[in-house]
Structure 1
Amino acid sequence: MQRQYIFTKNGFYPENTGEETEDEESAEFLYDMGNIESPSKLTVSGYFLYLVSDAFFKELTRLPELEIARDKINVAPTQECIERLLNATPYAIGTEFIDEKWIRNRFSELETIFQGQIRNYKGSVAMYLAERNQSLHVPERIFLHLVESKNDDAPFAFIATYASRQSDGSVQHMPLQYALTEYRDDREKLLTLLSSLNRAAEVSPLIAELMESGEMFHTLKFTVDDAYSFLKDIEKIEETGILCRIPNWWRKKNSMLSVNVKLGEEKPSMVGFDALVSLQPSLEVDGVRLTQSEIEQLLRQTEGLAFLKGKWIEVNHEKLRKLLEEMEDIPESLSFRDAVQLEMGNDKILPDVGIVVSNGAWMSRMLLDLREPNRIRSVAVPKTLKATLRPYQKSGYSWLNYMNRLGFGACLADDMGLGKTIQVLTYLEKLRKTDKDAKVLLIVPASLIGNWQREKDKFVPAMNSVILHGRPSTKLAEEAKEELPFLTITTYAMAAKIEPLKEKEWDCLILDEAQAIKNPTTKQTREIKKMKSKMRIAMTGTPIENDLTNLWSLFDFLNHGLLGASKEFHEFCKGLEEHPEKYAKLKSMISPFMLRRVKTDKNIISDLPEKVEMLDYAALSRKQTVLYRKAVSDMEKRVLEAEGIERRGIVLGTITKLKQICNHPDQYLGQDDYSPADSGKFALLKELCETIYEKRERVIVFTQFKEITEYLAEYLTGIFHAKGYVIHGGTPVKRRTEIVEKFQGERYVPFIVLSVKAAGTGLNLTKANHVIHFDRWWNPAVENQATDRAFRIGQTKDVMVHKFVSKGTIEEKIDAIINSKKELAENVIGSGGEKWITDLNNEELFSLLRLEE
């Protein structure tokens, strides 16, 4: 099985596949990655690590002093190397941590390993490298330099240097003439040093001439022709092992003289993906535009080097004529969709030879606004919103309005817990207030309907809505034919079945947990993509990490055609293996349409509390509903005939039964099937934990019932594709300690299921940054004590606390009482548990326990 790797702030680690393997020392492992013979067979995360390791060895073997410096060598990535690696950073888990500092730290680790190994190696560095990889070669100690000078007659200077060990042990680059003095008594060493120049002379007439005349040992003034002769031979000279330091403009000479096409210099007359964007081509030298007379001058000039616009360029008449011909074929305008696709280097739109595409004034400003929403002019928050938005939520709300105005689909991909729902509801409230006839369709997983209904009622209570769920699809289809309110909420399954929903043109179509359409081949995905809407919003806390097919499907829904046809995108992805730097183009292309803020970015979210608590509502399944009502009905009959201790026992026993039914019918029935479809909480648990798994974060799940812990653990193992642990009152102290140590270790252990009583004290579980209370103790002090197993000293992440509540049941009613009557929660509930419920009269008791629709 191909191994994925998870990137962290301080490095990376291999994803746990469930196999029992020893932990790999990440730095040692990265050091060995450079020896892999078939890197293309690696996963994208593994291939990136190979690129880092390979880049280190390439930089190492570009140091002429390597053989004599040995363990004193210093290997730092060049800025060009860093940019190349950053551009090649793929979509993978944790790549938001990869920056210049991350790359420099990996190089530092690899340098330390090399120094340690070569220090104890008896042979030469060349032998050491050859044993590791036959393609690695120690460079020659001689280095050739060509630099620009200010002499008009000889505008270049040439010098040969060599790496020489000084008396203090350091290594310096000395002019080659000093070698004649250093080795005057050791002719063999001198000949060995100069032998590389003999090989270079065989491939370069200029080097041969300098060797024959003896001028190689002096600093030389080079004319333009001398410099051009040398530069043309650079590639062949470096193949002999001699490295050359030359002006950067020659290394990138293919982009020096180019046709530059400015996209969208002025704002188009209309917006959207079909808007026509102007194209303004020009011939440029390193970004500086040439006049017609300058172009004619180049055509008259002899081929070679020319100094133009303050820059040296290579004059190549054939290439110049080809560029001018291509300029003639460039259209006056393109659709915005095609213009954005140029980011991917789509040569079907414009030829890719010698053409550089850059954004004009309007295009640059617009794309920058989309990528940095805090630049967008803020939109007033509707006064009817019953909430105060955080600064980043306001910018997200303004961004959604801006995207709507431009006619683009938007992917709101904020991290879990940052309030995607409130941002979308604020946007919808603004739409409702400005367009009285607007109609919105919201598609969500069935397990999240309760949460959306509660959030809507809490923050935008005036927003009229209907939920198309929980009834036969034929009946729902009849309801959908009627005049619908502003907001229609349904599930993915029902959206694909209810035909009238597909026939309407919506003002806005929203997908929550939009990864539900990541597979473009499923019928559900195809049916939802057929729906017509003016604006489309996709919400997901886990933008695509490893499978770019998922990314294509998401954007095919949002902005059809942006990433081309499926086959075209597949071909582009295949090309990433050979040209991983194109990941940067892909990210640049989609970043304007995806807003992603993460909890770890304190620059954006400086006021986020360290602990975020939220209620998550689960709908009862049909089986749960039937059992719940029967349990309450049975209790009512018995309570009417009982008094005192007997009545109290009936009530407390029924409360326990109702809690069990809310968890899963099989817990109440004493069965061991535990089908996820029979429990709303199991469905909700899956929705949450799939997101947690996508980010490879860790979770603690609390329950007060020991008998359900193993079933929860088995269910979570399937979601996380790896085993976790269970701790309850029966877990021996020694085993508890072992579990905690493994959970707190570096190897990924995704979850622990704990009974609340067993987890009351003595456990430090700070590796978890998610806490789920699967069922409730109705005692805030007990729940907080359990939560603090994760939220305590040593916790470096923000902790997300989810409290599950079964909608319409005693769980929701008790939670409302606790939140509205703090004194009752602290004094009565906190001290007496559930006994206070037994003191209610029959009418109050029945009202509390009965199921509400």
Structure 2
Amino acid sequence: KRINGIDAWKEFSEHSVSFFNALENIVPGTLGNDDSIYGLPEELAREVQEECFFPDGLLCELRRYQEWGVKYALHQKRVLLGDEMGLGKTVQAIATMVSLKNTGASHFAVVCPASVVTNWCREIRKMSRLQVVKIHGAGRKEALNSWISAGGVAVTTFETTAHFNLPESFELSLLVVDEAHYIKNSEARRTMNVKKICERAERMLFMTGTALENKPEEMVALIHILRPDIALRIQHMLALTAAPQFREAVAPVYYRRKREDVLTELPELIESEEWCTLGQAEKDIYEQAVFGKNFAETRRVSWNAENIKDSCKAKRLMELIEEAESEKRKVIIFSFFLDTIRKVVQLLGDRCMNPINGSVSPQRRQEIIDDFDKAPAGAVLAAQIQSGGTGLNIQSASVIILCEPQLKPSIENQAISRAYRMGQTRNVLVYRLLCENSIDERIMDILKDKQEKFDAFADKSVAAAESIKMDDHTIGNIIAEEIERIKAEKDKSNEK
């Protein structure tokens, strides 16, 4: 079947994973990477290769290295997956659960920081047919009982594990612990609580993007929970973490791929939506802004918390920055709002460069970027998106965080292209901080709809791009719909 170039490119853009996988299967190494075992010892690799993976019910296609990670987790049963940021640890965990469900498993649990509970629930629903139960906050006891009787994936927080009272005979098919370095301290209460759940788990998948090779004691602490025998064996080898002998010793339990290991299977730009859940104080401020029909204040959802440390977006921001620093990446943070930039700078203190905004002269902006280029890994540059998003080259950064969705996709695209451009040597990770049950959802839906129509009917010119911005009528509708949604939510709550 012959198709024209535009349709061919559209097909490739939407299904690039299938194309890359087909190419690698037909001619291994044709894309430049012929390591088919991704750094595992040969004998273990052979066993992993023969492991069966049953993807029925998985709603996305895995990259070759991701399927290999799933087979590793299935074969080894108790593992620590340390893949670099952006390589898809979450989808590998979801695919592992899907495969196990297809062989009769029924109960799975994900323990993670509160800042990513919503994200986990969304990703599981988007990428699989698995049932999800959020066990967190009000109603957690009923949710726990529902999950115990019906099965599916329980998603909970480290703090909520203190209330995880499981029946005596209960067995857990797989326990996933995200950001596993949170339980590195054996004396901490949350570590003890998670360990109790581990005792009920047939399989365990711990995940962390933090590079543990530089923190061998933390690695051993986590491995000790998973495989005490291996922890004992490597205890005397901690000075040799970079040596082949050490890597071979931990290979049965610890697996980490870096971007260069799987370069051929990665897009250069990886975009993620990071969904956060508002706390009660944030919610009250948000609803006040909505009922006051203050659109600008409504858009600043979470960032207008009275204490920035209570902001769910700020908490997620800090976690992303810490992970980026552990991978020796630099970060750019963009926001439309000056007050948000001010709060980000206040939150980060010395690790943040002088911010770029409209009052900073072009010459001074370049000086700030020059300082940022020379700064050590982990440095952060905060910029107002209208000022830092155009005319500047910031290739030394490979992580971009957008504090809120913009009203014109062209503004976001220009900002992303500050780092994602010729001369960039690392894959660029873009994180959009978004709040569930807020204006963020409405703006994202409208922009996606407008972008699809634009892609289908308009020429890709700057003039056409301007046509997909939001007008006053659309903004008025968003506020009106939010008022109705909040009223309906309150009515429903009062009925209970």
Q: Which residue of 2 aligns with 1:305?
A: none
Contact 1:779 1:825 survives alignment (8 Å): no
Are the structure 2 counterparts of residues 498 and 852 from structure 1 closer, same or farther at C-alpha, using a change threshold of 3 Å?
same
Q: Which residue of 2 aligns with 1:725?
A: 354
Q: For 2:186 and 2:139, how far apart are their aligned partners in 1?
A: 27
3-state secondary structure, aligned to 1:816? helix
Paired residues for 1:795-806 under 5 Å:
795-806=424-435
For structure 2, the residue ranges without an aligned partner over 5 or more in a row are 1-39, 456-463, 491-496
Contact 2:224 2:231 survives alignment (8 Å): yes
User: What whole-Å deviation, never above 9, does each CA across 1:500-528 have from its counterpart, x for those lacking one?
Assistant: 38984311111011111122221211221
Q: Which amino acid aligns with 1:508?
A: L
3-state secondary structure, aligned to 2:161? helix
Greater Cα offset, 698-707 or 504-513: 504-513
Contact 2:119 2:274 survives alignment (8 Å): yes
User: What whole-Å deviation, never above 9, does each CA across 1:703-745 have from its counterpart, x for those lacking one?
Assistant: 001122122023224xxx7342311111133321211111122
Q: For 1:422 and 1:656, how far apart are their aligned partners in 2?
A: 35
Q: Which residue of 2 aligns with 1:789?
A: 418
Q: For 1:680 and 1:758, how far apart are their aligned partners in 2?
A: 26
Paired residues for 1:246-645 under 5 Å:
368-370=42-44, 372=45, 376-377=49-50, 379-404=52-77, 409-435=78-104, 438-460=106-128, 462-471=129-138, 475=141, 479=145, 483-500=149-166, 504-531=170-197, 532=199, 533-564=201-232, 569=235, 572=236, 576=239, 584-601=244-261, 604-632=262-290, 634-635=291-292
3-state secondary structure, aligned to 2:263? coil
Greater Cα offset, 830-839 or 449-458: 830-839
Superposed CA RMSD: 3.0
Contact 1:609 1:798 survives alignment (8 Å): yes
| 1:665 to 2:305 alignment | yes
Q: CA deviation at 1:655?
A: 2.0
Q: For 2:172 and 2:48, how far apart are their aligned partners in 1?
A: 29
Q: Which amino acid aligns with 1:623?
A: A
3-state secondary structure, aligned to 1:507? strand
Q: Which residue of 2 aligns with 1:690?
A: 322
Q: CA deviation at 1:811?
A: 0.5
For structure 1, the residue ranges without an aligned partner over 5 or more in a row are 1-365, 636-649, 667-673
Q: CA deviation at 1:605?
A: 3.4
Q: For 1:793 and 1:545, how far apart are their aligned partners in 2?
A: 31
Q: CA deviation at 1:375?
A: 6.0
Q: For 2:417 and 2:357, how far apart are their aligned partners in 1?
A: 17
3-state secondary structure, aligned to 2:137? coil
Q: Which amino acid aligns with 1:429?
A: V
Q: CA deviation at 1:840?
A: 3.6
| 1:773 to 2:431 alignment | no
Q: CA deviation at 1:682?
A: 0.8
Q: CA deviation at 1:465?
A: 2.0
3-state secondary structure, aligned to 1:564? helix
Q: Which amino acid aligns with 1:432?
A: K
| 1:833 to 2:470 alignment | yes
Q: For 1:367 and 1:748, how far apart are their aligned partners in 2?
A: 31
Are the structure 2 counterparts of residues 367 and 768 from structure 1 closer, same or farther at C-alpha, using a change threshold of 3 Å?
closer
Paired residues for 1:840-851 under 5 Å:
840=477, 844=481, 846-847=483-484
Q: CA deviation at 1:538?
A: 0.5
Are the structure 2 counterparts of residues 823 and 414 from structure 1 closer, same or farther at C-alpha, using a change threshold of 3 Å?
closer
Q: CA deviation at 1:779?
A: 1.3
3-state secondary structure, aligned to 2:351? coil
Are the structure 2 counterparts of residues 839 and 547 from structure 1 closer, same or farther at C-alpha, using a change threshold of 3 Å?
closer
Question: Which protein has the larger Cα radius of gyration, Structure 1 or Structure 2?
Answer: 1
Contact 1:548 1:573 survives alignment (8 Å): no
**% identity of equivalent residues:** 26
Q: CA deviation at 1:451?
A: 1.3
Contact 1:743 1:749 survives alignment (8 Å): no
Q: CA deviation at 1:480?
A: 6.8
Q: Which residue of 1 aligns with 2:371?
A: 742
Contact 2:407 2:470 survives alignment (8 Å): yes
Q: For 2:398 and 2:258, how far apart are their aligned partners in 1?
A: 14
Q: For 1:726 and 1:441, how far apart are their aligned partners in 2?
A: 41
Q: Which amino acid aligns with 1:599?
A: R
Q: For 1:374 and 1:795, how far apart are their aligned partners in 2?
A: 37
Contact 1:477 1:499 survives alignment (8 Å): no
Contact 1:509 1:537 survives alignment (8 Å): yes
> What's the TM-score, normalizing by structure 2?
0.81
Q: How many residue pairs are counted as aligned between the two chains?
A: 441
User: What whole-Å deviation, never above 9, does each CA across 1:1-29 have from its counterpart, x for those lacking one?
Assistant: xxxxxxxxxxxxxxxxxxxxxxxxxxxxx
Q: Which amino acid aligns with 2:218?
A: N
Are the structure 2 counterparts of residues 748 and 456 from structure 1 closer, same or farther at C-alpha, using a change threshold of 3 Å?
closer
Q: Which residue of 1 aligns with 2:10?
A: none
Q: For 2:127 and 2:162, how far apart are their aligned partners in 1?
A: 29
> What's the TM-score, normalizing by structure 1?
0.48
Contact 1:619 1:806 survives alignment (8 Å): yes
| 1:675 to 2:303 alignment | no
Q: For 2:161 and 2:472, how far apart are their aligned partners in 1?
A: 45
